Structure 1
């Protein structure tokens, strides 16, 4: 049983793909952090960088979008690119990637309109077909069927869900997508910056991405959304998934035992059935996954134990990439294998498991150090970045200064104030445990300061302050 759960609450939409009771994919969006991918804007060029054949475009969001307009990398200033825009020009652009960190959204001038079976591309071109459709006869049938109904001046890319669809199915969807293209064409003379077409509503995106005959049902807990989806005609018919309205008191995710699974998806450590475990860490440059033997170590033949753990880890890595939506460069440190044959077997197992991922995933292979290299296309922020925020106390590092380091820093600051300023009294505010370490056993450090500087040092305990935080108040007493 495969089902898609659409949990819609005030300002928050959560979408879960569940297969046989197991959470496979999960993402959610809020109104404040809504994805802009697919949206079409009329933008205004703010700055042009000829050396990079790129420009920054104002589209009305907090950060300016980045548009690469060239056909070759790093053309010099002397070379004239006929497609180079000028500051102040207005352009029709589409968001290709959401803004991340300090970087703005990545834009493109090739406008596309994604559907459930086919993507309509607003430029004359060939008909592309998903690589996951491998039968040559089926590929030729699809290509001829789409070519017969494709409007002039457009190209198309047939998605994996297009397998088995008839010419009539493609014509119906292309007609719907063409209506969106006309909306953009009619609105292109609006004042920049302006939104022309919004294509990234969470519910529409979920239906478009997950819709296929392999999905048994969609379950939604919002009456308005249910009625909207029902009117599309994509549900409750022959060879169509069921659409159900959930109205029970128990929360939707709890009813289908998904809530607890969604919380575990944030855990750094993932246990394997044989006693081994994965440690998953996201960094700015890449995602690192470490495979550990854990409780499986010391059981029987060492090489067989390592191979068994690595094989199970390969399956789990592929699952975690989908569940957590990990993307970009991914490095997996499997347990060292002495046999090249075993390395090849693990690589093949990972490649096979990755084929279940609807997002393009490439297993590059192992390095000389035995590190598996994987790349996965980035479509939206990872689950942890969607569901968590940077810690203000540790600034997102996940680590805090030790008590010894903090106490040493506090003492240096206090001594510097007493030695180099006119202030003759210092008050130190901090957590009680930190103050106890600062003062030393039986206040030996405070006594030492008083004798050395002939000045007063007071300590004030504050329960509201974090463990590694403190405040030093300087005073001048007469």
Structure 2
């Protein structure tokens, strides 16, 4: 039987700071933690009228101000055509130009936030894009599912936009898919209309609260329950899910003054463990996880494992256990970018291949794309994970 997940939405004090937390529980463990400030909002996903302040042709980049004092990086190498507020004879970017942009990546460490002219409007089933004018599909959808959805959307997608079909679409009815497509088009047209009349630095569309985005991005077929002990969060979740096949019924309001929700699910301990460098495995082995400026490095060790059986078989089992735990920890800590993993050396080629496939299988369960790239001659496994938000450690550092 497939094990389902549970989303916990609550408030708590962490190191004397009140925060809002969205935590995902699966297999009896917390696999995802999203701490949020009770006061400030994220700019990720917001759409602005920005102004070009500087252009660096040698790195094919422009620097665009979206609010007073908030500068962003814009890649001139991206295929998206600039969406200028005022009509221009050509698409050549110049200092002082005002254009519609969307924040596509948060500022991480010393890097500025990224903005793009490719506007994305995300729903539960579909993503509408202003530049990628084609029909794309989630890699997790089966061939037959893609064929069925393609038939539904055929001749329904306007020529001036593209659509990406999300994994959740496999559970949707035709009318739900087409209704969401219509709603996404209305949002896109509203942004373009506002862009003609608003002044520079205006917010043309504000992204949904982060906890609603988390709810939107979860694969609904695996979600058993959403539980919260805050009335406002309960009402918001119910309201959002009303349009999706009575899914508001999975939202539960928890009331127990003696045992708050964050204590029931031991979130305090989950935060502490997610910041430890060392992670123990059931076999007695352990991981050492370190985040550097350039990449994440993970070392797999035999630790207390003292099996007297064939050593290569012992190493194989520890590595396979470590592969599952590494995928879990990457999601929990939201570690992304370049990840280098030093597994225990394996001699047999078939064991190495099994390890690579196992790691990719577990990375595939993450909502954020992770890819096993290769194993080097030094037996270092190279992995990439899409970078969208700050890591958990960086989020907590900003909040506390």
Is TM-score (shorter-chain normalized) higher than 0.5? yes
Distance 2:122 2:261 in 1: 29
Distance 1:321 1:193 in 2: 36
CA-based RMSD of the aligned residues comes to: 2.5
Distance 1:60 1:269 in 2: 41
- Give yes or no for the alignment of 1:294 onto 2:309: no
Q: 1:13 aligns with which of 20, 25, 46?
A: 20
Distance 1:281 1:208 in 2: 30
Q: 1:43 aligns with which of 39, 50, 62?
A: 50
Distance 2:307 2:132 in 1: 62
SS where residue 309 of structure 2 aligns? coil
Distance 1:47 1:54 in 2: 9
Is the Cα–Cα contact under 8 Å of residues 130 and 160 in structure 1 kept in the other structure?
yes
- Give yes or no for the alignment of 1:130 onto 2:144: no
- Paired residues for 1:137-176 under 5 Å: 137-176=144-183
How far does residue 235 in structure 1 lie from its aligned partner after superposition?
Answer: 7.5
Q: Which residue of 2 aligns with 1:427?
A: none
- Give yes or no for the alignment of 1:230 onto 2:233: no
- Paired residues for 1:121-270 under 5 Å: 121-123=129-131, 125-134=133-142, 136-188=143-195, 189-234=197-242, 238=246, 242-249=250-257, 250-270=259-279
Instruction: Report the CA distance shift for 1:213/1:343 in structure 2 as closer, same or farther (over 3 A).
Output: closer
SS where residue 213 of structure 1 aligns? helix
SS where residue 368 of structure 1 aligns? coil
SS where residue 294 of structure 2 aligns? coil
Deviates more, 1:42-51 or 1:151-160: 151-160
Unaligned runs of 5+ in 1: 73-80, 392-478
- Paired residues for 1:386-405 under 5 Å: 386-388=395-397
- Give yes or no for the alignment of 1:83 onto 2:91: yes
TM-score by length of 2: 0.88
- The one of the two structures with greater contact order (alpha-carbon pairs below 8 A, sep at least 6) is 2
Instruction: Report the CA distance shift for 1:273/1:49 in structure 2 as closer, same or farther (over 3 A).
Output: same
- Give yes or no for the alignment of 1:4 onto 2:7: yes
- Give yes or no for the alignment of 1:324 onto 2:333: yes
- Give yes or no for the alignment of 1:274 onto 2:283: yes
Q: 1:374 aligns with which of 372, 383, 388?
A: 383
SS where residue 216 of structure 1 aligns? strand
- Paired residues for 1:445-464 under 5 Å: none
Distance 1:288 1:376 in 2: 13
TM-score by length of 1: 0.75
SS where residue 296 of structure 1 aligns? coil
Q: 1:27 aligns with which of 30, 34, 44?
A: 34
SS where residue 247 of structure 1 aligns? coil
Distance 1:241 1:364 in 2: 41
- Give yes or no for the alignment of 1:365 onto 2:374: yes
Unaligned runs of 5+ in 2: 80-88
Deviates more, 1:250-259 or 1:272-281: 250-259
Distance 1:297 1:150 in 2: 60
- Higher gyration radius (CA): 1
SS where residue 24 of structure 1 aligns? strand
How far does residue 148 in structure 1 lie from its aligned partner after superposition?
Answer: 4.3
